[in-house]
Amino acid sequence: MKAIEVVENNLIISELPIPELKDDEVLIKVKAAGLNRADLAQKKGLYPPPPGASEILGLECSGIIEGIGKKVTSKKVGDEVMALLGGGGYAEFVSCPEFHAINKPKNLDWVESASIPEVYATCWLNLFMEASMTKGEKVVFHAGASGIGTAGIQLAKAFGCESFVTAGSEDKIKKCIDLGASDGEVRSKDIFSKIQSWAPEGVHIILDPVGAEYFENNLGVLGIEGRLIIIGLMGGIETKVNLGHLMIKRQKIIGSTIRARSIDKKNQVMKDLSKKVIPLFESGELKPIVYKALPLSECNEAHAIMESNENIGKIILTLN
């Protein structure tokens, strides 16, 4: 099959064997695959795939079931699905545990469907399962115009919460507000006083891909029983922490990634998405935010767009 290989920080199309199918897995003929920031790190050798995962980049796709393992009961050949992957999406075929693939919403095309699994699974896992987000809470998304941000804003709104964002430009802030954020501030400005003005009693949840650089200020604007979820380290790893504030305010700091989670945990996330989130795509309440779709052969250009941070929402690779 055609698949992307990394050669000296460059992506090239190679001929690789079709993945072998385990008894509890499905084989998907990929129609579209989503880009994620983790792909950039993996390309640079900074984020090796977890044990057992494909070495090929790509954490999500849409496509058609091409084969099923002996023990698979929930899928059949020909089903149109979208899937959360441990890796392998940048290829003609990919395999994954059967429950990590869920039915594609009928009203969305392949590109739109490929934009959903990773960011919605990440938001669902972190906002609802890890941070127990409840109606009426105030949530901050740093990098609000990212795939995660544009998903989180919409999810927060759909579930009765208010969201605020920081992002790299006025255009991005405007887009976030169009999607349902209550307000936003450009990253170059004094974002933390702004956050304080949005939530004088403290925000309830912060979903943060920045890490060290924002850490102390994040805890400062977080309210009583607030949850800070660290999902990325774009702003460094090592920082200071004041455990007194943490304890008196009864706050939680949650380190989180989705890729290395157990099969069962991901089953649960995808089951929740299928039941509680996909219907909102079908009704039109949630919208996939696709910035650009490019053919697989232009994957280096796709990566360059993500590296430049120009995108609002997802970048998708298409296959025939």
Site for its own copies in 53-92 (CB under 8 A): none
Handedness of CA 4, 278, 166, 259 (dihedral sign): negative
136 contacts 160 by C-beta, under 8 angstroms: yes
Instruction: Compute the least distance from the CB of residue 232 to its own copies, in Å.
Output: 8
As a whole number of angstroms, the distance between CA 56 and CA 43 comes to: 10
Which of 189, 250, 271, 275 binds its own copies (CB under 8 A)? It is: 250
H or E element, residue 170 = helix 170-179
x/- mask, its own copies, residues 198-237, rule CB under 8 A, reads: -------------xx--x--------------xxxx--xx
Which of 190, 248, 279, 283 binds its own copies (CB under 8 A)? It is: 248
Q: Which is nearer to its own copies, 249 or 287 (CB)?
A: 249
For the chain, first and last CA: distance in Å? 12
Short-list 73, 57, 82, CA closest to 23: 73
Short-list 141, 150, 117, 158, CA closest to 30: 117
Instruction: Compute the least distance from the CB of residue 179 to its own copies, in Å.
Output: 26
Q: Which is nearer to its own copies, 76 or 245 (CB)?
A: 245
Q: Does 247 bind its own copies (CB under 8 A)?
A: yes
SS3 219: helix
Stretch that binds its own copies, among 115-123, 160-168, 241-249, 308-316 (CB under 8 A): 241-249
Q: Does 49 bind its own copies (CB under 8 A)?
A: no
Which of 12, 77, 241, 304 binds its own copies (CB under 8 A)? It is: 241
Which of 36, 251, 311, 318 binds its own copies (CB under 8 A)? It is: 251
The first and second tokens of residue 317, run together, are 């690779």
Q: Which is nearer to its own copies, 108 or 228 (CB)?
A: 228
Q: Which is nearer to its own copies, 7 or 243 (CB)?
A: 243
Instruction: Compute the least distance from the CB of residue 87 to its own copies, in Å.
Output: 17
Q: In degrees rounded to 5, what are phi and psi of residue 298? A: -105, 30
Q: Which is nearer to its own copies, 255 or 295 (CB)?
A: 255
290 C-beta neighbours (distance < 10 Å), count: 21
Instruction: Look at the block and give the residue holding tokens 């607030």.
Output: 226
Burial of 121 (0-12, 13-18, 19+ CB in 10 A): buried
Instruction: Compute the least distance from the CB of residue 31 to its own copies, in Å.
Output: 31
Size of the chain, expressed as the number of residues it contains: 320
As a whole number of angstroms, the distance between CA 254 and CA 307 comes to: 26
Q: Which is nearer to its own copies, 50 or 279 (CB)?
A: 50
Q: Does 239 bind its own copies (CB under 8 A)?
A: yes
Q: Does 52 bind its own copies (CB under 8 A)?
A: no
20 C-beta neighbours (distance < 10 Å), count: 9
Stretch that binds its own copies, among 140-148, 160-168, 174-182, 246-254 (CB under 8 A): 246-254
241 contacts 217 by C-beta, under 8 angstroms: no
Instruction: Compute the least distance from the CB of residue 272 to its own copies, in Å.
Output: 17
Q: Does 2 bind its own copies (CB under 8 A)?
A: no
SS3 300: helix
Which residues form the interface with its own copies (CB under 8 A)?
A: 211-212, 215, 230-233, 236-257, 260-261
